[in-house]
Amino acid sequence: MKRDFVALEDLRPEELREILDLAVSMKRDWVAGRRAPLLPERTLSMIFQKPSLRTRTSFDIGMYQLGGHAVYLSPDEIQLGHRESIADAARVLSRYSDAIMARVFAHSDVVDLARWASVPVINGLSDYDHPCQGVADFLTILQRLGQLKDVRLTYLGDGNNVLHSLLIGGAMLGMHIVAATPVDYRPLPGVVQKAEALARSSGGSVTLTADPIEAVREAHVLYTDTWTSMGQEEEAAARRQVFPAYQINDALLARGAAIEGVMHCLPAHRGEEITDAVADGERSWLWDQAENRLHGQKAILVHLLKE
């Protein structure tokens, strides 16, 4: 049966660990110059309903480095669900490509694609989850700190898709995830419940709070993301009023004695969720994270496509 990569909650914890181990070894080989094309002549169709720098470039270059090829389908071109149904697009693209990657607004669209496609479907960001980002983030923490289990990660800001990936994946991996969000911008309760159940098995934990100062006190890693995700643009002004206390700046960093690194999935809105001084500072892991999109996704592709 074909496998998809639509949401981290669909993975078994061992499967997430296997992907991370594969990413570590593939990255090591690539950096050492051992560059065997692991997916010769394989093809990836990439559907984008929203803009992208990292996802588009890292999948395109990743497929090339694996010996395959990626095709970019812009929002105007494909008009998913408008020009033709998701089911029809999925069946057609399955006849051309070995896998489909999709960046969508509604998570149900990527679920529908996976249902109708006969090839693996990868979620390149939906309003619910950003699983490829999660893999790159866990790879970054693993390589910076040498472990994931027992790492204390504090996320500050909006309870969005990126936080959902950190909650689910972090709970699988035995991490202690603290989410500091305004009360009206908490992660979805269903995601929190799933993460709590996973944390019970892994020895990790999930904590929600509205207090950013308390949230960073014990943290090893801080993480933030935009206050206004793609698709929420009309709420941007209102959100700018609510979130400033959650900005990662030098004053907040000074509240945590154990902070080793600061993360952001990018694009950053400097002066909003993160300051220049922190994004460009000594503890910024931002560029490792962006690089690891490439290595993490190459591992996801090999995991899904290799016979």
Catalytic residues: 103, 130, 133, 225, 265, 293
Q: How is residue 234 written in tokens?
A: 């009309």
Radius of gyration of the chain (CA): 19
Question: Rounded to whole angstroms, how far apart are CA atoms 123 and 252?
Answer: 33
DSSP characters for 52-64?
Answer: -SHHHHHHHHHHH
Question: Rounded to whole angstroms, how far apart are CA atoms 84 and 276?
Answer: 44
Q: How far is the CB of 29 from ligand NVA (least distance, A)?
A: 28
Q: How far is the CB of 183 from ligand NVA (least distance, A)?
A: 19
What residues numbered 246-305 form the site for ligand NVA, per CB under 6 A? 265
Q: Give whole-number Cα distances, 113 to 107, 121, 250, in Å.
A: 10, 7, 43
How does 120-135 read in b/e, with b if 16+ C-beta sit within 10 Å?
bbbbbbbbbbbbbbbb
Stretch near ligand NVA under the rule CB under 6 A, chosen from 1-9, 30-38, 159-167, 233-241: 159-167
How does 249-281 read in b/e, with b if 16+ C-beta sit within 10 Å?
eeebbeebeebebbbbbbebbeebbbbeebbee
* Binding partner of 289, given ligand CP, ligand NVA, none, CB within 5-8 angstroms per partner class: none
Q: Which of 43, 52, 207, 209 contacts ligand CP by CB under 6 A?
A: 52
Measured N-to-C along each axis, helices 13-31 and 286-305 cross at an angle, to the nearest 10 degrees, of: 110
Stretch near ligand CP under the rule CB under 6 A, chosen from 13-21, 150-158, 175-183, 259-267: 259-267
Q: Which of 7, 8, 47, 125 contacts ligand CP by CB under 6 A?
A: 125
The neighbour count for residue 65, using CB atoms within 10 Å, is 17
* Binding partner of 53, given ligand NVA, ligand CP, none, CB within 5-8 angstroms per partner class: ligand CP
Q: Does 162 bind ligand NVA (CB under 6 A)?
A: yes
* Binding partner of 226, given ligand NVA, ligand CP, none, CB within 5-8 angstroms per partner class: ligand NVA
Q: Does 161 bind ligand NVA (CB under 6 A)?
A: yes
What residues numbered 97-136 form the site for ligand NVA, per CB under 6 A? 125
Q: Within 13 Å of residue 10, how many CA atoms lie on the same side as its CB?
A: 14
Q: Does 229 bind ligand NVA (CB under 6 A)?
A: yes
Q: Which of 49, 94, 133, 297 contacts ligand CP by CB under 6 A?
A: 133
Stretch near ligand NVA under the rule CB under 6 A, chosen from 35-43, 78-86, 158-166, 185-193: 158-166
Cis geometry, peptide bond prior to residue 13 (ω within 30 degrees of 0)? no
Q: How far is the CB of 56 from ligand CP (least distance, A)?
A: 6
Which residues form the interface with ligand NVA (CB under 6 A)? Answer: 125, 160-162, 225-226, 229-230, 265
Interacting residues with ligand CP (CB under 6 A): 52-55, 125, 133, 265-267
